[in-house]
Protein backbone atom coordinates (compact mmCIF):
# COMPACT_ATOMS: atom_id res chain seq x y z
CA UNK A 1 0.00 0.00 0.00
CA UNK A 2 1.46 3.40 -0.95
CA UNK A 3 2.21 5.86 1.81
CA UNK A 4 2.18 9.65 1.78
CA UNK A 5 4.48 11.23 4.36
CA UNK A 6 5.35 14.65 5.65
CA UNK A 7 8.16 15.35 8.13
CA UNK A 8 5.95 14.38 11.07
CA UNK A 9 2.92 12.52 9.78
CA UNK A 10 1.88 9.89 7.31
CA UNK A 11 -1.19 8.26 5.85
CA UNK A 12 -1.83 5.24 3.71
CA UNK A 13 -3.03 5.81 0.18
CA UNK A 14 -4.72 3.76 -2.50
CA UNK A 15 -2.49 2.55 -5.33
CA UNK A 16 -3.37 4.69 -8.33
CA UNK A 17 -5.28 7.10 -6.13
CA UNK A 18 -5.17 10.86 -6.23
CA UNK A 19 -2.66 12.77 -4.12
CA UNK A 20 -5.64 14.82 -2.97
CA UNK A 21 -5.55 12.25 -0.18
CA UNK A 22 -2.80 14.49 1.22
CA UNK A 23 -5.33 17.16 2.17
CA UNK A 24 -5.44 15.88 5.73
CA UNK A 25 -1.63 16.15 5.91
CA UNK A 26 -1.71 19.87 5.24
CA UNK A 27 -1.79 20.22 1.45
CA UNK A 28 -4.07 23.12 0.52
CA UNK A 29 -6.32 22.83 -2.50
CA UNK A 30 -8.21 25.37 -4.54
CA UNK A 31 -9.42 24.66 -8.05
CA UNK A 32 -8.67 20.90 -8.12
CA UNK A 33 -8.03 21.38 -11.84
CA UNK A 34 -4.36 22.29 -12.20
CA UNK A 35 -5.06 25.99 -12.71
CA UNK A 36 -4.63 27.92 -9.45
CA UNK A 37 -1.33 26.42 -8.29
CA UNK A 38 -2.42 26.36 -4.65
CA UNK A 39 -1.62 22.67 -4.22
CA UNK A 40 1.97 22.95 -5.54
CA UNK A 41 4.13 20.98 -3.12
CA UNK A 42 7.80 20.05 -3.12
CA UNK A 43 8.36 16.30 -3.09
CA UNK A 44 11.39 15.39 -0.98
CA UNK A 45 11.52 11.76 -2.05
CA UNK A 46 9.53 9.29 -4.09
CA UNK A 47 8.90 11.44 -7.16
CA UNK A 48 9.20 8.29 -9.25
CA UNK A 49 6.26 6.79 -7.41
CA UNK A 50 3.94 9.43 -8.86
CA UNK A 51 2.26 9.61 -12.25
CA UNK A 52 3.95 11.64 -14.97
CA UNK A 53 3.43 15.42 -14.89
CA UNK A 54 0.30 16.60 -16.66
CA UNK A 55 0.04 19.33 -19.30
CA UNK A 56 -1.28 21.67 -16.60
CA UNK A 57 1.83 21.10 -14.49
CA UNK A 58 4.14 21.64 -17.46
CA UNK A 59 2.32 24.84 -18.38
CA UNK A 60 2.68 26.18 -14.83
CA UNK A 61 6.49 26.02 -14.89
CA UNK A 62 6.86 24.53 -11.43
CA UNK A 63 10.22 24.48 -9.70
CA UNK A 64 12.11 21.20 -10.01
CA UNK A 65 10.79 18.63 -7.55
CA UNK A 66 7.42 20.32 -7.18
CA UNK A 67 4.14 18.78 -8.26
CA UNK A 68 0.53 19.84 -8.27
CA UNK A 69 -1.08 17.47 -5.80
CA UNK A 70 -4.42 17.73 -7.57
CA UNK A 71 -2.86 16.47 -10.78
CA UNK A 72 -0.78 13.50 -9.74
CA UNK A 73 -1.54 10.01 -8.61
CA UNK A 74 0.50 7.82 -6.31
CA UNK A 75 1.23 4.38 -7.71
CA UNK A 76 3.50 2.70 -5.17
CA UNK A 77 6.00 3.11 -2.39
CA UNK A 78 6.41 6.20 -0.26
CA UNK A 79 6.13 9.82 -1.32
CA UNK A 80 7.54 12.32 1.17
CA UNK A 81 6.29 15.89 0.96
CA UNK A 82 8.08 19.02 2.17
CA UNK A 83 5.51 19.72 4.88
CA UNK A 84 5.53 19.46 8.66
S1 LIG B 1 -5.84 22.88 -6.51
FE2 LIG B 1 -5.56 24.37 -8.08
S3 LIG B 1 -3.81 23.65 -9.11
FE4 LIG B 1 -4.22 22.07 -7.67
Q: Which of 18, 21, 37 to mutate to test the pocket of ligand 1 (most atoms within 8 A of CB)?
A: 37
Q: What is the pLDDT of residue 33?
A: 97
pTM > 0.85:
yes
**Pocket lining: 65 vs ligand 1, CB cutoff 6 Å:** no
CB proximity list for 19: less than 8 A, separation 6 or greater: 4, 13, 27, 50, 67, 69, 70, 72, 73, 74, 79
pLDDT at 4 (0 to 100): 98
- Domain of 8, in residue numbers: 3-81
Residue 63's CATH number: 3.10.20.30
**Residue 20 alpha carbon to ligand 1 centre in Å:** 10
For 6-46, write each residue's pLDDT tens digit: 999 999 999 999 999 999 999 999 999 999 999 999 999 99
Locate the ligand 1 atom nearest the alpha carbon of residue 69 and give its number: 4
Counted domains in the chain: 1
Q: What is the pLDDT of residues 37-78, one digit of tens each?
A: 999 999 999 999 999 999 999 999 999 999 999 999 999 999
Q: What is the pLDDT of residue 67?
A: 98
Cα 54 to averaged position of ligand 1 atoms, centre (Å)? 12
Amino acid sequence: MPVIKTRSRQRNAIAGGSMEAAADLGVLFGCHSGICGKCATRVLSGLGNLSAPTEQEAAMGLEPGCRLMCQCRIHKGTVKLDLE
